[in-house]
């Protein structure tokens, strides 16, 4: 298991795992005694909108997990108990979670050399049903329409940089003035033309954080190390 490095993704995983550990404490379950049915019971408890037959609901007074949050919880639980199984703790549960499935057309298109894959890892805790579609890119005429609605130079810059530079929201909002080298032949000597450095910082006052952990820059819309 890796140490916490400060990323929002790891923080989300940590919150999900802590919630499960608290549930284990309430149920008086040791790691070695947890079964697949117990994990399914937990997934039902955090995702239930009504009281279930097994008694007092978990996370009373809080909104139940949505499908995305349930998928995250399923990933965290499988990784946690698989790691415990490698440490010879509850090996049977690790085997029960280590399932495989036939790859779908979408699985093949997302995987490297997906056309030769005969199986894909599966998680029995993952909620079933159609997944949420990824948001589509804005249409071609969205940019001029958005520019007509904004009133400040800052907002116009945000729209232009998101469209032209390919920045993520967290990357753009986390930029410092020292990251902007807008003249050719900048002192950093990492690129000859104008560019911007995207750096991972955890102490920004607006809490913006770039996902990347390695320094890189954008030059003419292309990333360079």
Extents of the domains making up the chain: 8-112, 142-224
Tokens representing 22?
Answer: 């608290």
From 23, 21, 16, select the one nearest 72 (Cα to Cα): 16
Query: Which residues fall within 8 angstroms of residue 67, CB to CB, at 6 or more apart?
Result: 127, 129, 131, 132
pLDDT tens-place string over residues 136-182: 566 777 888 989 999 999 899 888 888 887 788 888 888 888 888 88
pLDDT tens-place string over residues 57-93: 677 778 888 888 899 999 999 999 999 999 999 999 9
Model-level pTM?
0.61
Q: Of residues 31 and 208, which shows the higher confidence score?
A: 31
Neighbour-count burial of 216, counting CB atoms closer than 10 A to its CB (0-12 exposed, 13-18 middle, 19+ buried):
middle
Summarize the confidence of residues 8-22 as an average pLDDT: 89
pLDDT tens-place string over residues 89-141: 999 999 999 988 777 787 777 777 777 778 788 899 988 776 555 555 667 77
């Amino acid at each position: 298991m890796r140490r916490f490095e400060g990323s929002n993704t790891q923080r989300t995983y940590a919150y999900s795992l802590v919630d499960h550990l608290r549930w284990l404490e309430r149920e008086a379950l040791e790691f070695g005694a947890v079964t697949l049915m117990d994990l399914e019971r937990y997934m039902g408890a955090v995702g239930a909108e009504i009281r279930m037959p097994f008694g007092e609901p978990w996370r009373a007074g809080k909104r139940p997990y949505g499908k995305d949050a349930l998928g995250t919880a399923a990933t965290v639980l499988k990784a946690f108990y698989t790691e415990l199984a490698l440490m010879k703790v509850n090996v049977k549960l690790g085997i029960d979670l280590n399932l495989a499935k036939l790859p779908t057309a979408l699985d093949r298109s997302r995987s490297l050399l997906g056309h030769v894959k005969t199986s894909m890892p599966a998680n029995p805790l993952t909620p079933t049903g159609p997944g949420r579609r990824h948001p589509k890119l804005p249409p071609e005429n969205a940019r001029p329409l958005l520019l007509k609605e904004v009133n400040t130079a800052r907002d116009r810059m945000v729209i232009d940089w998101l469209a032209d530079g390919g920045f993520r929201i967290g990357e753009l909002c986390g930029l410092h003035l020292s990251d902007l080298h807008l003249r050719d032949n900048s002192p950093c000597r990492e690129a000859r033309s104008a560019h911007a450095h995207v750096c991972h910082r955890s102490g920004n006052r607006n809490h913006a954080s770039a996902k990347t952990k390695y320094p890189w820059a954008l030059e003419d819309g292309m990333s360079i190390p």
